[in-house]
């Protein structure tokens, strides 16, 4: 059933974060899972929250220091010789 978030749902937000991190007490996990089975909105929040984290993490994984910036870094640190020997 689709409904507007109420005070109870608001209280689940903190639990939802701990649940995502695997840090929620097992007894509370069961209660939260039970709640999400009956509350479509909370389930959607959970699902999209987890996907948000996943997307941000996978975007981050694509970033590495560009080669020209690496050369500038090693030059600034006076480590050019070590950069050459690493390659």
Partner 1 sequence: MSEHNNHNVPDLAALQRKEKGAFARLVDAHSDKIYRLALKMLGDQQDAEDVLQETFIKAFNHIDGFEGRSKLSTWLYRIAVNEALMLLRKRKGKLTSIEAGVELDDGEVMPRQIVDWCCLPERELMKDQTRQAINRAIQTLSDANRAAFLLRDVEGLSTQEAAEVLEISESALKVRLMRARLALREELSQYFSEMMPDKVL
Exposed, middle or buried, 1 (CB in 10 Å: 0-12/13-18/19+)? Answer: exposed
Query: What are the percentages of helix, strand and coil residues in the chain, rounded to 5?
Result: 75, 0, 25
55 is a site residue for partner 1 (CB under 8 A): yes
Pick the closer one to partner 1 by CB: 33 or 80: 80
Closest contact distance (angstroms) between CB of 28 and partner 1 is 15
Residue 11 binds to partner 1 (criterion: CB under 8 A):
no
* Interaction mask 15-54, partner 1, x per CB under 8 A: --xx--x-x-----------------x--xx-xxx-xxx-
Instruction: Burial-class residue 9 by CB neighbours within 10 Å (0-12, 13-18, 19+).
Output: middle
- Is residue 63 a contact point for partner 1 (CB under 8 A)? yes
Separation in Å, CA 59 to CA 11, 43, 51, 52, 79:
30, 24, 12, 11, 30
Task: Give the footprint of partner 1 on this chain (CB under 8 A).
Answer: 2, 5, 10, 13-14, 17-18, 21, 23, 41, 44-45, 47-49, 51-53, 55-60, 62-66, 69-70, 72-74, 76-77, 79, 82-83, 86
């Amino acid at each position: 059933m689709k409904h507007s978030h109420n005070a109870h749902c608001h209280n689940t937000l903190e639990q939802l974060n701990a649940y995502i991190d695997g840090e929620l007490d097992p007894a509370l996990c069961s209660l939260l899972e039970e709640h999400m089975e009956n509350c479509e909105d909370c389930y959607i929040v959970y699902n999209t929250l987890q996907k948000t984290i996943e997307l941000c993490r996978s975007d981050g994984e694509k970033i590495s220091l560009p080669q020209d910036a690496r050369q500038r870094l090693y030059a600034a640190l006076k480590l050019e010789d070590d950069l050459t020997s690493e390659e």
